[in-house]
Amino acid sequence: MSAVMLAQLVAIMPLARARAAAFLEPLNAAMVEFGITTPARQASFLAQVGHESGSLIYVRELWGPTASQIRYERDFSATWPPKAKTDRNQLPWDLGNAQAGDGVRFKGRGLLQVTGRSNYVACGKALGLDLLVKPELLEQAVNACRSAGWFWQMRGLNALADAGDQVKVTRRINGGANGLAERLALFAVAQRVLA
């Protein structure tokens, strides 16, 4: 594996110029730790990180709360099990948000936006961090990068990057094709820069 150089990172994410140096070493270390070690994997990973973090600007989800973010919270007035799938919002259950306030407490953090109590528990266990007590640890550059690498590995994204399937990579990260055009544009630049 060739380490990504500062000039390469800035070429891939020009908006990251002011923060690129602070993230360069942690990004390279995370890519080694989680097997993101070929140009194809690195290009895919950096393109996704570039989109999800706004080019290394955001390590914490902006909180409105928006209508989408309100969906992170469980409705504790709902009965369980529900009479029908439409009787409740599935998202907080999928995220493991079991207590009032978990939606905002476990909002997206890190360069790939680890979200939800269950993901924080799994990520914390894998990285040796107590994220239930200190979820903001994922906002530190090293942990933001390591959590992104962990998420990447956990979702089996090296295989999809090897296959060159950026649409499937995006769907596994985002759950849909949100921001696909920007992700593909970042990927094209990353491929060229890392070749």
pLDDT tens over the chain, length 195 residues: 799 999 999 999 999 999 999 999 999 999 999 999 999 999 999 999 999 999 999 999 998 888 888 888 887 666 555 555 554 578 888 899 988 899 999 999 999 999 999 999 999 999 999 999 999 999 999 999 999 999 999 999 999 999 999 999 999 998 889 999 999 999 999 999 999
Q: Do 147 and 55 share a structural domain?
A: yes
Residue 98 lies in a domain: yes
Alpha carbons within 13 A on the beta-carbon side of 12 = 32
Domain that holds residue 48: 6-59+140-194
SS3 15: helix
Let me know whether 74 and 53 are in one domain: no
CATH number, domain of 155, equals 1.10.530.10
Task: Concatenate the DSSP letters of all residues of 16-46 into one string.
Answer: GHHHHHHHHHHHHHHHHHTT--SHHHHHHHH
In a domain, 111, yes or no: yes
Residues 49 and 145 in one domain: yes
CA dist list (Å): 34 to 72, 101, 186: 28, 31, 21
Say if residues 120 and 95 touch (Cβ distance below 8 Å).
no
- For position 83, what pLDDT does the model report? 57
Does some domain include residue 129?
no
3-state secondary structure of 97: coil
Rounded to two decimals, what is the model's pTM?
0.91
Which sign, positive or negative, has the C-alpha torsion 138, 140, 145, 150? negative
pLDDT at residue 104 in the model? 93
**135, part of any domain:** no
> 15-21: which pairs have CB atoms within 8 A and are 24 or more residues apart?
15/54, 15/55, 15/56, 15/57, 16/50, 16/55, 16/56, 16/57, 19/56, 19/57, 20/56
Q: Are residues 71 and 114 in the same domain?
A: yes
The reported pLDDT for the residue numbered 94 is 86
Residue 86 is predicted with a pLDDT of 55
- Are residue 180 and residue 160 in the same domain, yes or no? yes
- As for how many domains the chain has, the answer is 2
One domain for residues 71 and 54:
no
Domain membership of residue 24 (yes or no) is yes
What is the pLDDT at residue 186?
98
Do 50 and 80 fall into the same domain?
Answer: no
- Is the residue at 130 inside a domain? no
Residues 6+ apart with CB under 8 A from 42: 1, 4, 31, 36, 190, 194
Whether 55 and 76 map to the same domain: the answer is no
